[in-house]
Amino acid sequence: NRTTPGSPEAEFRILAIRPLTPHIGAEISGVDLSQPIGEDLAAELRQALLEWKVIFFRDQHRFTSGHHLALAAVWGEPEVNPFFPKGDTVGVSRLAKDAMAIGNENIWHSDHSFMAAPALGSVLRAVEVPPAGGDTMWADMAVAYDNLSEEMKARIDGLTAVHDWVPSWGSLMTEEQIARMREALPAVEHPVVIRHPQSGRKVLYVNEPFTTRIVGLSDAESRELLCELVLQARIPEFQVRFHWQPDSVAIWDNIAVQHYAINDYYPQRRVMERIAIAGVPLS
């Protein structure tokens, strides 16, 4: 009973769009992201991201951290991930595989769901890529929701879940460090099914590293339900996979998708730079 509803076709005058699957992911050409982004281009970029949920650009050879910040500003303010290594520019995190502290890169997740206002999106640039491998995958969590059984939809309707960074990021920290971070980042609750603020679609909003418990259920029931729900992101029909080249750029709608960085290239090196875009509370 899997359905993959198509996206509404918008008119694009500047961007050339090549869908990579029927519902998630499009490669975009016709734009040099090192040039100033005017309002017409910004509007098309926002529309493309809304329709395709993750959009890709290749060969952005002149793209600097300044352009990275300007591109993220099309959607909002940069938000620093408190657990990521800092880059040379404020707001830009540098993710080098040998410096990456935790394995959340190879767990399906949405960025910063442990915050009261999770990131709206992220902009990721490939700086150094391995000779083979190192792809990233994204899963469309609205399609993942649509394809739940009617019984499951009824069961999760109105439920909320706790999201917490401690079981994942905290596993590498001392008790004292955790206690200090805890004040700024308490555990938060979000609905299990959210409404995407722009598309209005229902989105399944639980993820493996950060969603720790479903409110109001016993521990065993909560664990069993979460185990089942997080599997939705792993279904290939809901996904797109992107092979990076140096100076490829991806932007994703972090409310609509989860992502997974494939960890298959050891001992080669892979360096990425990421800006997360600050979000608003979910409903």
> Given the complex with ligand AKG, which of 123 and 193 has the nearer CB atom?
123
Q: Smallest gap, in angstroms, from Cβ of residue 126 to ligand AKG? A: 8
d(CA 21, CA 256): 15
Q: How far is CA 75 from CA 5, 59, 69, 183, 225, in A?
A: 25, 22, 10, 28, 34
d(CA 167, CA 254): 21
Q: How far is CA 129 from CA 70, 212, 223, 243, in A?
A: 23, 33, 37, 10
Q: Where in the chain does DSSP place strands (E)? A: 16-19, 26-29, 54-57, 78-79, 93-96, 121-128, 136-140, 160-163, 188-191, 193-195, 202-204, 211-214, 239-242, 249-253, 257-261, 271-277
d(CA 244, CA 26): 14
> Given the complex with ligand AKG, which of 33 and 137 has the nearer CB atom?
137
- What is the CA 122 to chain-centroid distance, rounded? 6
Place of tokens 């869908």: 19
> Given the complex with ligand AKG, which of 94 and 202 has the nearer CB atom?
94
What the block records as the tokens of 28 is: 């975009």
Using CB under 6 A as the binding rule, whether residue 282 contacts ligand AKG is answered as: no
Give the x-and-dash track for 82-101 against ligand AKG (CB under 6 A).
-------------x------
- In eight-state DSSP terms, residue 7 is P
Contact (CB, 8 A) for 42 and 76 = no
What the block records as the tokens of 47 is: 């529309």
Using CB under 6 A as the binding rule, whether residue 115 contacts ligand AKG is answered as: no
> Given the complex with ligand AKG, which of 52 and 156 has the nearer CB atom?
52
- Please select the residue that binds ligand AKG; options are 27, 44, 79, 111, rule is CB under 6 A: 111
Q: Smallest gap, in angstroms, from Cβ of residue 272 to ligand AKG? A: 5
Range 220-259, binding ligand AKG (CB under 6 A): 259
Total binding residues toward ligand AKG, as defined by CB under 6 A:
10
Give the x-and-dash track for 122-141 against ligand AKG (CB under 6 A).
x-x-----------x-----
Using CB under 6 A as the binding rule, whether residue 163 contacts ligand AKG is answered as: no
- What is the CA 184 to chain-centroid distance, rounded? 22
Using CB under 6 A as the binding rule, whether residue 112 contacts ligand AKG is answered as: no
Q: Smallest gap, in angstroms, from Cβ of residue 112 to ligand AKG? A: 9
What the block records as the tokens of 195 is: 């409404």
Using CB under 6 A as the binding rule, whether residue 214 contacts ligand AKG is answered as: no
> Given the complex with ligand AKG, which of 122 and 168 has the nearer CB atom?
122
- Please select the residue that binds ligand AKG; options are 211, 274, 277, 279, rule is CB under 6 A: 274
What positions carry a catalytic annotation?
Answer: 109, 111, 259, 274
Using CB under 6 A as the binding rule, whether residue 77 contacts ligand AKG is answered as: no
Using CB under 6 A as the binding rule, whether residue 48 contacts ligand AKG is answered as: no
Question: What is the contact surface with ligand AKG in residues (CB under 6 A)?
Answer: 95, 105, 111, 122, 124, 136, 259, 261, 272, 274
